[in-house]
Structure 1
Amino acid sequence: MFNPIQIPFGCTMLFNVVDLKDGVSVEDVELVLGEMCNVVKNTYGDDNGGFIGGQVYRNAGFVSDEGSVDGGDSHPNKRVQQNMGDIVIVTYWQSFEQHEKSHADKLFKEKFAKLAEYCDNTYEVGYEMLWQGVPEAH
């Protein structure tokens, strides 16, 4: 469940931003989110399904001065507003088409609908990998 994942070059990454309703905490959706992720892992995690691996992150709210073109100046208190999403779900797939097929499946739709009940908004954006690397051994 918490094992490291290996991401093959050339895969497709989907970045899903989850904006929870006011008054809903990450803890409130942990079980629903876990069930949804488990369905993806166990149902679509083969060559036919195309799922490679994934990660879920909680918005910590900090902004990198060094990694921001404007030095983070557009965020005077150096905190990102929660309308940037409370959670992000990052998944890796062999292809975008396999992702779409899995997410059109009845089993996934049922789990995702339960999560959506707690959300003001979710959106998922796909990315194609251009580069990856690890530190060189010294």
Structure 2
Amino acid sequence: MYHPVSIPFGCKMLFNEVKLKPGVTLEQVEMALGEMCNVVKNTYGGKKGGFIAGQVYKFAGFVSDEGSVGGTGQTQDHIAIVTFWNSFEEHEKSHADTAFNEKFSALIKMCSESRELGYDMLWQGDPEPEDVARAA
């Protein structure tokens, strides 16, 4: 369940910012989120539907002064769901499926807003092995 992922160059990335309703905590959404992610991984993974990998992040309250432009004010609690797919079409097909919608609807009941944006990969890279060894 928790292991490194490999992201092939040229895949599609979907970034979903899911804003929690006021008073809703991460602990309250964890089960719905876990069930939804499990359905995606097990139902649409690889040749079954084009899902490559995914990650879920909890907003830590940090907004970078150095990397932000146009204001760094406080933002609403939210979760970021990042998924990687072979194509946008496969992503949309999976999300139109009943198996996904049953789990997603349970999560959405605890959220005030969800917006999922699709991205084309332009670049990826890792540090050179000798740079990693020097940093350790």
Q: Does 1:94 align with 2:86?
A: yes
* Structure 1, unpaired ranges of 5+: none
Q: Does 1:137 align with 2:129?
A: yes
**Cross-structure match for 1:105:** 97
**Cα-to-partner distance string for 1:96-120 (whole Å, 9 max, x where unaligned):** 0000000000100111011111111
Shift of 1:137: 2.1
- Local SS of the residue matching 1:47: helix
Which amino acid is 1:117 matched to?
A: K
Shift of 1:136: 1.2
How many residues align? The count is 130
Compute the TM-score of the two structures, normalised by the length of structure 1: 0.89
Shift of 1:69: 4.0
Higher helix share: 2
* Structure 2, unpaired ranges of 5+: 131-136
Shift of 1:40: 0.2
Shift of 1:64: 1.6
Which amino acid is 1:80 matched to?
A: Q
**Cross-structure match for 1:80:** 74
Seq. identity, %: 63
Cα distance change of structure 1 residues 117 and 69 upon mapping to structure 2, 3 Å threshold: closer
Shift of 1:61: 1.6
CA distance in 2, matches of 1:118, 1:67: 30
**Cross-structure match for 1:126:** 118
> Structure 1: which 4+ aligned runs deviate by more than 2 Å?
none
Question: Which moved further from structure 2: 41-50 or 87-96?
Answer: 41-50
Compute the TM-score of the two structures, normalised by the length of structure 2: 0.91
Which amino acid is 1:123 matched to?
A: R
**Cα-to-partner distance string for 1:59-89 (whole Å, 9 max, x where unaligned):** 112122222346xxx23xxx5311xx51010
Which amino acid is 1:35 matched to?
A: E
